[in-house]
A and B are shown apart, each in its own frame.
Chain A
Amino acid sequence: ELKVEQNPLFLSMQEGKNYTIYCNYSTTSDRLYWYRQDPGKSLESLFVLLSNGAVKQEGRLMASLDTKARLSTLHITAAVHDLSATYFCAVNYAGGTSYGKLTFGQGTILTVHP
């Protein structure tokens, strides 16, 4: 059974600081996703990582993937209040038959303080 674990689950940051969210998964995967969810809202896609060593950046967020370690990181640079949200990583199980079936991590609740 594929398991996805995020840490930390709660992250309180000061504006301007840097931090990293970690996502570990238990079995080989085709791809890894990062999503953002604001309270009461749906999931917004941030990144899709397809291969070992993949790195993607958008604004103050950068995601990377190490398939050998089964680890993805979401790095936040110089946090601002607008980044406050819950961040999920999700993994698509490898094998070609898991289309549309994502296994999600528990989510990391990020709060950025002035």
Chain B
Amino acid sequence: KAGVTQTPRYLIKTRGQQVTLSCSPISGHRSVSWYQQTPGQGLQFLFEYFSETQRNKGNFPGRFSGRQFSNSRSEMNVSTLELGDSALYLCASSQHGNEKLFFGSGTQLSVL
């Protein structure tokens, strides 16, 4: 069974640009969560989607948004990038969201 797949693996952008990250969950999993990991703030929850609906949202500005498609694949978008958005963005999937989460390898975003 394939794991959680995130693309791209690495991304370099400049301030002011926008970026879209993609996450394909494990087959059969309907919940997809996104986390930001930085050395200073650690792992922080961004949002969670279940059956195409955002079910939970973390304390991030509106520049961070996401969506989930009918096949459970999810994308997150960050607009007007800032230097502080440089981070590892991790996606996790589970069947319903309240059991073990399986994490992808992440997308390392660098904002210059």
Contacts and interface: CB of A to CB of B under 8 A. Distances in A.
Interface string A77-114: 00000000000101010000111111111110000000
Nearest to A106: B42
Given A88-B43, A103-B45, A104-B43, A43 B103 contact: yes
B66 interface: no
B42 A101 contact: no
A31 B50 CA distance: 19
Contact of B101 (A97, A98, A100, A103): A100
B76 to A, nearest CB: 14
A43 B33 CA distance: 13
A48 B94 CA distance: 13
A68 interface: no
Interface residues of B, number: 27
A99 B101 CA distance: 10
Interface string B86-108: 00001010101111111111100
A44 B99 CA distance: 14
B58 A100 contact: no
B103 A100 contact: no
B105 A33 contact: no
Contacts of B90: 42-43
Interface of A: 30-31, 33, 35, 41-45, 48, 88, 90, 92, 97-107
